[in-house]
C-alpha cells in the first residue's frame, strides 16, 4: 500500500480513483463496511482504492485543552486499512486553516483535483469542510454537477440493541473496562503500545516480573483493573511477531500507595524475557477484576495467584504460577 503525505507523493499516472474519507480511529466494524465498499467499487471499475485520513485527530486540533487518546496509532490504522484492501492512503496534516475550507473547495481541490476521485464512498454520517457544513447530500448534489459519483453507505448497527458502531462507543466501553464488548465493536481486541521501562521491580521480587509501560504512548487505556490479554512483540533477532499470554494490571498499585498510573504486563510463566527499551503492544481480551488494596502481603499474593489462573483460563493456555525471582534475567 502506498502512503502519501503531500500532493507530490501521488504518482503522475495514478489515473481515476475511488476515494473514501474518514479519521478511521480504531477502524471498527462501521469503518470496515465503508472501506470494503470502497474496495469493491474500485475493483469493479479497475481503479485504485484510496483512503483520505487525517493526522492529528481533528478534535485535538479544535479542542487542544481536552485531551483525547486515540484508539489506535496511525501506524496501526494504516496497517488495518491495508489489510482491508486499500491501495493508497493520503495522510492529511490537519490544521485549523485546512479545516476552514468551504465544502465545495474541499471536494473540487482535494478529492477531485489532488486525489483524482471519480467516485466517493462515505458513511451516512459524513461531515466535512468549514464548520462541518458539508454532508452526504451536498456531496451528492455538488458531485453530480462536476461529474463525481457518490456512494453513501448506511450506518452499521449492533444487532442486539441497534446502537451504531462508532469510535465514541469504543471509548465508552474502554473507560468502563469492558474490553470484550469493545473487541466486538472493533472486530478485534483493543491494542495499546508503549516502550517498556524500568519500574520499582516489586513484581519481580514477588515472583511476578512485569513489563512496565508508564505513560503509554498510544492507545486509549482501559479502566483501572486486572485484565487477561497478550503482549505482542517483534523478536529482535528474527523480526518474527510473538504473542505472549499475559495478566495485565492497570492503575496506581494501591497496595503499595502508588500515585502514577501505569500499565504492567506479566507474561505467564516467563522469567527469561528482557524487554527493556522495546516497543510492545498489549491486546486486551477480558476484564478479570478491579484494583484492590490488601491488608497483608499474603492476601495480595493469593489474589495474584488467582489472577494468573483466571488469565490462563481466559486465554486457553496452560496455567503458570509464580516464577523464581532468582531466575529473572532482565536487569
Show pLDDT as tens, one digit a residue, over the chain (331 residues): 999 999 999 999 999 999 999 999 999 999 999 999 999 999 999 999 999 999 999 999 999 888 778 898 898 899 999 999 999 999 999 999 999 999 999 999 999 999 999 999 999 889 999 999 999 999 999 999 999 999 999 877 766 777 888 899 999 999 999 999 999 999 999 999 889 987 656 655 667 788 888 765 567 899 999 999 999 998 888 889 999 999 999 987 654 555 578 899 999 988 788 888 899 999 999 999 998 877 777 778 888 889 999 999 999 999 987 776 666 665 5
Distance CA 70, CA 55 (A): 11
Q: ∠ CA(56), CA(233), CA(86), 5° rounding? A: 50
Which one is the CATH code of 190-327: 3.20.20.10, 2.40.30.30, 3.40.50.150, 1.10.3720.10?
Answer: 2.40.30.30
* 296 in active site: no
212-244 core/surface letters (b: 16 or more CB in 10 A; e: else): bbeebebbbbbbebbbbbbbbbeeeeeeeeeeb
Residues in the chain: 331
Instruction: Please say whether the beta carbons of 165 and 156 come within 8 A.
Output: yes
Instruction: Please say whether the beta carbons of 211 and 281 come within 8 A.
Output: no
Note the pLDDT of residue 329: 61
Within the chain, all domains assigned CATH 2.40.30.30 are found at 190-327
Cell of residue 225, nine digits:
483493573
Residue 303 is given by DSSP the state: H
Within the chain, all domains assigned CATH 3.40.50.620 are found at 2-153
Question: Rounded to 5 degrees, what are φ and ψ at 46?
Answer: 70, 30
Note the pLDDT of residue 242: 94
3-class secondary structure, 173: helix
Note the pLDDT of residue 35: 97
Which ranges of 119-237 does DSSP label H, i.e. alpha helix?
136-145, 167-175, 179-186, 202-206
Distance CA 14, CA 120 (A): 16
Cα first-last separation, the chain: 40
Question: Rounded to 5 degrees, what are φ and ψ at 129?
Answer: 80, -175
Note the pLDDT of residue 197: 87
- The CATH superfamily label for domain 2-153 reads HUPs (3.40.50.620)
Distance CA 1, CA 314 (A): 35
Note the pLDDT of residue 252: 78
For the CA atoms of 37, 43, 48, 53, what is the dihedral angle to 10 degrees? 10
Catalytic residue chosen out of the listed positions 149, 264, 278, 326: 264
Instruction: Please say whether the beta carbons of 266 and 320 come within 8 A.
Output: no
The CB density around residue 1, as the number of other CB atoms within 10 Å, is 15
Nearest to 27 by CA among 70, 69, 58: 70
Amino acid at each position: 500500500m502506498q502512503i502519501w503525505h503531500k500532493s507530490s507523493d501521488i504518482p503522475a499516472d495514478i489515473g481515476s480513483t475511488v476515494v473514501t474519507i474518514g479519521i478511521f480511529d480504531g477502524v471498527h466494524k462501521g469503518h470496515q463496511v465503508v472501506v470494503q465498499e470502497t474496495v469493491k467499487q474500485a475493483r469493479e471499475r479497475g481503479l485504485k482504492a484510496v483512503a483520505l485520513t487525517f493526522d492529528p485527530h481533528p478534535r485535538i486540533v479544535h479542542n487542544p485543552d481536552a485531551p483525547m487518546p486515540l484508539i489506535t496509532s496511525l501506524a496501526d490504522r494504516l496497517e488495518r486499512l491495508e489489510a482491508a484492501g486499500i491501495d493508497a492512503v493520503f495522510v492529511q496534516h490537519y490544521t485549523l486553516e485546512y479545516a476552514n475550507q468551504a465544502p465545495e473547495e474541499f471536494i473540487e481541490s482535494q478529492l477531485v483535483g489532488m486525489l483524482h476521485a471519480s467516485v466517493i464512498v462515505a458513511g451516512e454520517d459524513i461531515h466535512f469542510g468549514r464548520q462541518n457544513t458539508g454532508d452526504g447530500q451536498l456531496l451528492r448534489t455538488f458531485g453530480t454537477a462536476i461529474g463525481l459519483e457518490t456512494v453513501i453507505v448506511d450506518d452499521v448497527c449492533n444487532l442486539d440493541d441497534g446502537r451504531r458502531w462508532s469510535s465514541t462507543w469504543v471509548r465508552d466501553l474502554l473507560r468502563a473496562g469492558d474490553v470484550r464488548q469493545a473487541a466486538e465493536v472493533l472486530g478485534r481486541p483493543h491494542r495499546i503500545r508503549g516502550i517498556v521501562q524500568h519500574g520499582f521491580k516489586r513484581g519481580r521480587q514477588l515472583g511476578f516480573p512485569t513489563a512496565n509501560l508508564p505513560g503509554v504512548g498510544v492507545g486509549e487505556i482501559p479502566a483501572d483493573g486486572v485484565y487477561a490479554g497478550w503482549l505482542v512483540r517483534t523478536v529482535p533477532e528474527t523480526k518474527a511477531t510473538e504473542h505472549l499470554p499475559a495478566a495485565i494490571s492497570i492503575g496506581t498499585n494501591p497496595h503499595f500507595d502508588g500515585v502514577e498510573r501505569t500499565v504492567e504486563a506479566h507474561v505467564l510463566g516467563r522469567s527469561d524475557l528482557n524487554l527493556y527499551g522495546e516497543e510492545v503492544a498489549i491486546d486486551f481480551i477480558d476484564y478479570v477484576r478491579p484494583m484492590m488494596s490488601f491488608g497483608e502481603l499474603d492476601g495480595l499474593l493469593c489474589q495474584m495467584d488467582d489472577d494468573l489462573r483466571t488469565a490462563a483460563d481466559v486465554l486457553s493456555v496452560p496455567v503458570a504460577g509464580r516464577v523464581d525471582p532468582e531466575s529473572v534475567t532482565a536487569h
